[in-house]
Amino acid sequence: MANGQIVTFGTYGGPGGKSWDDGTYNTIRELIIYSAWDIDSIQVIYDVEGKPVSGERHGGDGGNENRVKLDYPSEYLVSISGYYGYNSSKIFIVRSLTLQSNVKQYGPYGTKNGTPFISPLTVGKIVGFFGRESSRLDSIGIYNQPFHATTPMGPFGGDGGKLWDDGTYNSMVRQIIINSGWNIDSIQVDYVDIEGKSISGKRHGGDGGTAHTVKLDYPGEYLISISGYYGSNSSRSLVVKSLTLKSNIKQYGPYGKEEGTRFITPLAAGKIVGFFGREGDRLESIGVYIKPFQTVIPVGPFGTTAGQEWDDGTYNTIRELIIHSGAVIDSIQVVYDDIEGKPISGEKHGTDGGQQNTLDKAHDIYKKYSSNDLPNVRGTKSGTKAMVKLDYPDEFLLSIWGYYGTFGNKVCIRSLGFQSNKRTIGPFGVEEGEKFQSPSTRGKIIGFYGRFDQFLTSIGTYLDK
């Protein structure tokens, strides 16, 4: 079984069928996914102390068999994504699955139709699965074991040429020089060591291509992810065809030609402190060493234990908040930033209510907060809907505050406010009851969780320090 801290993400899918839980293991060796128009079932082969252990098949007995054999022990799963929704029989199930390892992507399997989902990419590995099942795979969730030491990701590309490795002794990357044309001809990386001294790395690859220099704004800017493509060149050698670099501030590239097999390393899970791979007269392959950030800390939840539990998980950052409110906080929905810098919408937790909240209430909000604070606030007979767009990627949330108390015969969240690194947002709802506030520290909120029924009954945050 897996050792150390385990984090759960999900489930993703519908509430039907019966629950299943494989538990946690050392790692995953193989997955067997049966799919056609939907994900019919899944079966996972795990590892326990170097020996394969087969889990049960979860779901129905239909679909085509798809086997994913990981290159044990160096390859492991880091994320799952896909779609869930109603199928032709009006059953709410998992419709599509894609698997991301530390080396490459598998899938998609099934039909990319419905609501998209993705499990947060952390510096860690998936060590177990759970969910719900019936004649199909109703839902799926993962057990993730975070790493706490510098971890290699990759390499991505071919196995020709000779090995190269810049090492892991550096504190961060300062500059990258990429020579490219139709392929990535070479890469050279300059680092800052743990004592703050600059170190110039060697050039890896050939001497062709056009040079592109990426200077990071040291010390505030650092690399968090690389992505790109690898495939056959004109000499039929498998090489790195394209590279894109992503820092905590912006994206650089792409350099080279985007064709072949795509790869990506986990984003916002840590910072890149080293590179390695293989080289010949081109860059044959590339991998990175990622040093995890400090542990993500859950704060809260604040409120009551009543209602259904919800957990959005953790992401790169938050882009938008959608809040229905009146005398209480009826619901919250959060739009996050996914592993490729694209918006991904979390589920709505609560209802569209807003009792005792009229057009006058919306007008009061307009008077109290500028349109820059609340880009879209609409009053209706049933309440107020506030859509708050953060100034992505420069603005992020630091803390939340609010009140919880009794409304009718229920204890729920009565009010919510947010503090970003640029402004105060809210409050929404009515400030009555018991006040709460999450700490404002040198970190940012990267996820929410809590409970809900007709209203939002509790809320907590994941803080990345």
The predicted model gives 404-430 an average pLDDT of: 91
State the pLDDT at residue 364. 41
State the pLDDT at residue 123. 67
Of 111 and 2, the structure prediction assigns the larger pLDDT to: 111
CA 22 centroid distance within chain: 23
Of 375 and 70, the structure prediction assigns the larger pLDDT to: 70
State the pLDDT at residue 36. 93
Confidence band (pLDDT; 50, 70, 90) for 311?
Answer: confident
Within 257-342, strands assigned E span: 261-264, 270-279, 283-292, 296-303, 308-311, 318-325, 329-337
Of 292 and 258, the structure prediction assigns the larger pLDDT to: 258
Confidence band (pLDDT; 50, 70, 90) for 265?
Answer: confident
Question: Is the per-residue pLDDT at 362 higher than 80?
Answer: no
Residues 237 and 220: their CA atoms lie apart, in Å, by 38
State the pLDDT at residue 111. 93
The predicted model gives 116-132 an average pLDDT of: 85
pTM higher than 0.75 for the full model?
A: no
Question: Is the per-residue pLDDT at 88 higher than 90?
Answer: no
Residues 145 and 318: their CA atoms lie apart, in Å, by 23
Give the pLDDT confidence of 132-163 residue by residue, as tens digits.
Answer: 999 999 999 999 887 767 788 889 999 899 99
Query: Are residues 28 and 53 in contact, defined by beta-carbon separation less than 8 angstroms?
Result: no
Question: Is the per-residue pLDDT at 441 higher than 60?
Answer: no
Of 180 and 446, the structure prediction assigns the larger pLDDT to: 180
State the pLDDT at residue 398. 87
The count of other CB atoms within 10 Å of the CB of residue 362 is: 20
Of 41 and 384, the structure prediction assigns the larger pLDDT to: 41
Q: Alpha helix (H) ranges present in 276-401? A: 359-368
